[in-house]
Amino acid sequence: MEYSYPFSTDWSTQEVIDVVAFFEGVENAYEKGIEKEEFMKRYRRFKEIVPGKADEKRICNEFEEVSGYSAYRVVQKGKQTPEQAKIRM
């Protein structure tokens, strides 16, 4: 990994850890696959921390610029993936 994860200085340490876990889930979807249930759990926690659509879009776009991985596409695929299956990009 040669990039840093986007975060807000307003977040607690645990919130930063949870947001990083979400972005690691995005990376896993592209690199090796991640269980849908696990990824959606991480996404729900991310949405608790970043409830606004505009903030979500800005943070995910920042991540995509530095990593090349689209969180939006992984979330969309996760919503379409059957239960008990892996999300693979």
User: pLDDT digit string (tens) for 1-32?
Assistant: 578 899 899 999 999 999 999 999 999 999 99
- Determine which helix (DSSP H) or strand (DSSP E) holds 35, and give its type and residue range: strand 34-35
What are the helix and strand counts (H, E) for the chain?
A: 4, 2
Domains and CATH numbers, the chain: 13-87 (1.10.220.80)
Q: State the pTM of this model.
A: 0.94
In terms of C-beta density within 10 A (0-12 exposed, 13-18 middle, 19 or more buried), how is residue 46 classed?
A: buried
